[in-house]
Structure 1
Amino acid sequence: MPKTLSRRTVLRGAGVSLALPLLDVMSSSRLLSAAEATARPPLRMAFFYVPNGMHMPDWTPQKAGYKYDLPPTLERIADFQDDINVLSGLTLDGARAHGDGGGDHARSVAAFLTGAHPRKTNGADIQNGISVDQATAKYVGDQSRFASLELGLEASAQAGNCDSGYSCAYASNMSWRGPTNPMAKEIDPGAVFDRLFAGKSVKATKQAKTKRELFRKSVLDFALEDAKRLHQALPAVDRRKLDEYLYAVRDVEKRLGGAERLRFDESGVPDYPRPSGVPRELDKHSDLMMDMVTLAFQTDSTRILSFMFTNAGSNRSYKEIGVSEGHHELSHHGKSEHKQTQIATINRYHLDRFAYLLGRLRNVREGSRTLLENSMIVYGSGISDGDRHNHDDLPILLAGSAAGRIKTGRHLKYDNGTPLCNLYVWMMQQMGADAKQFGDSNGVIKL
């Protein structure tokens, strides 16, 4: 069996490059470089955005500290209470009007990771700030295959008027490489899968994909010989880890293949064309994308990721959970009991999708911890109450213990008005970035 194995080892085949999860023989390797050793296991950061705020009475715990009672919405993640912290009192000043009038939805997304106040325009002269994920990627992005990944469930737009004179670039992008450079998100799980398991060259990757589709082969079929050789040489614990990982890859690939088939009615005629590789059912789409997040982190393909459930001000209905009215319209509830109930139902649905990811991450072991424990994941919105359009006391969760740096299982109440960017400074520092200030921060949050 191998006494040493580099963290960068991959299984290769024709047009396929299959990165490996963290194995014990990697952790014990004496041949690792200093950079690899300090990144063992690597720390990940991620940001998940939901639109239109929350029904806050069903979100905010009454008690601070440990063993707080879960309000109705957070009951959906009761199984993960010990893995998260609820953060209250954080504020996004850049999302406020500051004399610019309407446009809170667009500003709430544009400012969520930048802390900046975006210029009000629906033309080409957009102006925002660099986002925390991209600022951190400048320091540590070269340590993984992809400096960052930008994902979501609804496509980005780079032009148009989306919210009271604000460009659609603000409303549909939360990751910004620079003040005028929004990072479009990928919404097709198949496309993400292809990126994660691409070969050495574009030509080889395309050829392998064509063969897989023609002969219905898996990416694993192309790297099978390499996988068998490695499997035979590994100790028992690592063989089990490798088996679990390869099973997960094949399972995701099968589900992607199933999603790509057309549905047929009784006459054998397709009842709808499948759009751009994206599953029609939102829960299936979301779960596949969460699988991509898990694989991206598990294989150390990236350590930095952002994810938008939908774009700002989304008026999508959720008929799959009995909500036929539009999300945005419901968020302007005017204290209607019916509308607030519907909003809470949508909030719980989004949290269910997030809980699926938490479960996937917690099931992956990395050394003495789990993949979830080796992460720090922000979940929330840049609006608190959708009816008030307020940007203080935001609904924010922080999942994962950042490899033991955070004590989890608490409700932390900060003074209302504490900049959300104070949290981002702390996160950047944990990732190894030399950051003392970011956005509108006025200090570093205490966790």
Structure 2
Amino acid sequence: MSRSKIIAEINRRNLLKYLGNAAICAPFMRTLLETEAFGADRAKRALFFFYPDGMVPDQFHPTTMGANFDLKTTTKPFESVRGDIVMIRGSNYSTMGSHEAGASYCLTATADRGPAISLDTYLGTKLKAGVSLPVLRLGTGATFQTGSDKAISFAAPGVPSSIEDNPKKAFAAVFGGSPTTPDAGGAPKSLGAKGQKSVLDSGLSDLKALQTRLGSIEKSKLELHVESVRELERRTQIMIDQESGMGSMETAPSCNRMVDFRGFNIPDNDPVYPPVALKNENFNTVCDIQIDIAVQAMACGITNVVLFQMSHAVSPLTMDFPGGPGISKFHHDISHFGGSPDEHAKNQAYFMSKYVKIIAGMKAVKEGDKSLLYNSIAMSVSDLAHSDYHNFTSVGVVLAGQAGGYIKTGRAIDVAGASHGQTLVSTLQALGIQDDKFGQASGVLPGLV
């Protein structure tokens, strides 16, 4: 590199970055090399996906168990990720009541709306090392026309957690600054500076040139060194961006903090009710933006626990919004389907498709030779099982992810009346937390491991 080029490139930010790379590299290079060589323990994550008003059992639960499980009307969206899920038939909520009791129970395993913390909150205390947000709680219509009696998440016993329905506010809370917007060509703009060449590119190109003159062992060592230094630069850039409120320039499917707002404008001050983010016609767009935020928050190591809430129990939603199933009746009304279950089954298939979108997004994030999904466990829950009967027998739970190899996926299991609370205990153990009780439940779910 010529002297003039060096002078041109070294501004205050680059100088800090170069010095930071050098300072970090020196004492920790051996550790980083050993980590790369022998494998790192990846952080495990948990995601909980709530959908409202139960389901139609015979259009949700598979008839065939094992690896050859069948998918019904509501669960057809899982076909593209069937190898990464476990369908659970026969687990029950151990509570009495209606929608509100099921909502309260699904993540607390505590009957009759008794005061308790929810599993997302508890995991936030256990998996908070190295993250800035112990729990990220995002919603789509979760706060529209509802009350505390329909809460599913509790920050303290009897104290409902806050759910963020506004993607603009969610983005600011997670990443800082303003959301990304597409440029004139349709590509998302980065929040960072454009066109800045990595300082390592020039230096490492000379190192890589040595590869042609090295033996296989020395060549492997050099490759390991190059990748370790590259990782240092990536981490340093993330820290710099966080300090300045700007996003990373990277476009890899891991941490890029690129969230496409799809041309959706959310005013800072919205005095009209319902606000833009809660309007029925915007439901699908808001949901997709929130999904992007959730996946990126996990990919960037900002949180290890996500709660994603679609509407709420006794949902006032109508599903005739763009991108929806085109059913204009109130969602809760349709859930009392009597002898005509098809519309409710189709509505719930829409929610399952959004759960699949999250699962696919997590799978696209690479972590070594595995993925974010592989290192995570995700769980769908609702406030009811059979929505027309208002019961809690054989609730519609689908797990996703392998929790770092702990869970064998690609199958359906029948747990023959086991408590859903045992699924919560199993989730704890899958994440390396050796508790054998949670809420009022004890023991693990039979057949899961």
TM-score, normalized by length of structure 2? 0.73
* Higher mean displacement: 81-90 or 435-444: 435-444
Matches within 5 A, 1:346-361: 346-361=347-362
Q: Is 1:315–1:327's contact at 8 Å kept on the other side of the alignment?
A: yes
In 2, the alpha carbon distance for the partners of 1:247 and 1:444 equals 34
Q: Does the 8 Å contact 2:335/2:388 carry over to 1? A: yes
- Counterpart check, 1:258 vs 2:263: yes
Aligned to 1:269: none
Distance 1:89 1:139 in 2: 29
Give the secondary structure class of the aligned counterpart of 1:196: helix
Deviates most, 81-90 or 349-358: 349-358
**Amino acid in the other structure paired with 1:106:** E
- Cα deviation for residue 52 of structure 1 reads 0.8
**Cα RMSD after superposing both structures:** 3.7
Partner of residue 346, structure 2: 345
**CA offsets, 1:316-346, max 9 Å, x none?**
11113221111111111222x2xx1110110
What amino acid does structure 2 have at the position aligned with 1:437? K
Instruction: Identify the match of residue 156 of structure 2 among 174, 178, 186.
Output: 178
Please give the alpha-carbon distance, in whole angstroms, between the structure 1 residues aligned to 2:118 and 2:197: 39
Q: Is 2:415 aligned against 1:414?
A: yes
The structure-2 alpha-carbon separation of the partners of 1:55 and 1:246, relative to structure 1 and needing over 3 Å to count, comes to closer
State how far apart, in whole Å, the 2-side matches of 1:358 and 1:370 are. Answer: 11
Q: Secondary structure at the match of 1:292?
A: helix
Q: Does 2:129 correspond to 1:151? A: no
Superposed displacement of residue 353, structure 1: 1.5
Q: Measure, in 1, the Cα distance between the counterparts of 2:130 and 2:35.
A: 8
- Counterpart residue number, 1:5: none
Q: Deviations over 1:8-65 (max 9, x none)?
A: xxxx98xxxxxxxxxxx9xx96436x99999732111111111111111111111111
Stretch of structure 1 that moved more, 274-283 or 313-322? 274-283
8 Å Cα contact 2:55/2:396 also seen in 1: yes
Judge which range, 342-351 or 39-48, deviates more. 39-48
Alignment of 1:2-401 (within 5 A): 30-31=30-31, 40-94=41-95, 96-97=96-97, 104-119=98-113, 128-156=115-143, 168-171=147-150, 173-198=151-176, 209=178, 220-222=190-192, 228-229=198-199, 235=227, 242-245=250-253, 249-250=257-258, 252=259, 255-256=260-261, 258-260=263-265, 275-276=275-276, 280-320=281-321, 321-335=325-339, 337=340, 340-401=341-402
Instruction: Provide the C-alpha distance between the structure 1 equivalents of 2:253 and 2:312, rounded to a whole number of angstroms.
Output: 32
Task: Output the amino acid matched with 1:256.
Answer: F
Q: Which runs of 5 or more structure 1 residues have no equivalent in the other structure?
A: 1-11, 14-24, 98-103, 120-126, 163-167, 199-204, 263-271
SS at match of 2:329: coil
The one-letter code sitting in structure 2 at the alignment partner of 1:115 is A
Paired residues of 2:135 and 2:303 also in contact (CA < 8 A): yes
Contact 1:58 1:72 in 2 (8 A): yes
Distance 1:344 1:354 in 2: 15
Q: Contact between 2:254 and 2:300, CA under 8 Å: does it hold in 1? A: no
Change (3 A) 1:39 1:156: farther
Aligned counterpart, 1:423: 423
In 2: Cα distance, 1:80 partner to 1:56 partner: 21
Task: Report if the CA contact (8 A) 2:142-2:310 is conserved.
Answer: no
Between the aligned partners of 1:298 and 1:246, the Cα distance in structure 2 is 6
C-alpha separation in 2, matches of 1:373 and 1:246: 14
The structure that has the greater radius of gyration is: 2
Moved more, 219-228 or 141-150: 219-228
2:435 paired with 1:435 = yes
Does the aligned pair in 2 maintain the 1:297–1:303 contact within 8 Å? yes
Q: Match for 2:103: what amino acid?
A: V
Q: Which amino acid aligns with 2:282?
A: E
Tell me the percent identity. Answer: 24
Distance 2:255 2:140 in 1: 25
| SS of residue in 2 equivalent to 1:329 | helix
Q: Is the 8 A contact 1:136 1:433 kept in 2?
A: no
Question: Offset of 1:138 from its aligned partner?
Answer: 1.9
Kept after mapping to 1: 8 A contact 2:250/2:256:
no
SS at match of 2:88: strand
Q: 1:149 to 1:261 in 2, by over 3 A?
A: closer
In structure 2, relative to structure 1, the CA distance for the partners of 1:429 and 1:225 (3 Å cut) is farther
Partner SS for 2:134: coil
After superposition, the Cα gap between the structure-2 partners of 1:246 and 1:137, relative to the gap in structure 1 and judged at 3 Å, is closer
Matched residue pairs, number? Answer: 373
